[in-house]
């Protein structure tokens, strides 16, 4: 396995860990927060507007490409 692939896989592993931590943190904050019925919701950013199915598809595609690379390498 080349050093570039190994570095990329380590970066991907770190990013997935960060994503998991962010999800746990956001879930905990959402449970603690009391919804205010009288305020206007904040404008959401593009990351929160992403369809989970689209994100899952992109992750599946990335995983398939990495697996193919590892089989060939």
At 44, is the secondary structure helix, strand, or coil?
A: coil
Cα Rg for the chain, rounded, in angstroms? 18
- Residues 13-64 pLDDT 10s: 888 888 888 888 887 777 666 666 666 666 655 555 567 888 888 888 888 8
User: For residues 9 and 73, is the Cβ–Cβ distance under 8 A?
Assistant: no
Q: Judge whether residue 11 has pLDDT over 80.
A: yes
Give the model's pLDDT for residue 1: 64
User: For residues 2 and 73, is the Cβ–Cβ distance under 8 A?
Assistant: yes
**Structural element, H or E, at residue 25:** helix 3-32
pTM of structure? 0.45
Give the model's pLDDT for residue 37: 64
What is the C-alpha end-to-end distance of the chain, expressed in Å?
6
């Amino acid at each position: 396995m080349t050093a570039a692939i190994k570095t990329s896989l380590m970066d991907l592993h770190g990013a997935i860990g960060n994503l998991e931590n962010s999800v746990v943190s956001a879930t905990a904050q959402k449970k603690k927060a009391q919804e205010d019925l009288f305020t206007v919701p904040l404008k959401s950013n593009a990351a929160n507007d992403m369809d989970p199915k689209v994100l899952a598809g992109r992750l599946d595609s990335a995983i398939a490409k990495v697996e193919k690379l590892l089989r060939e390498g």
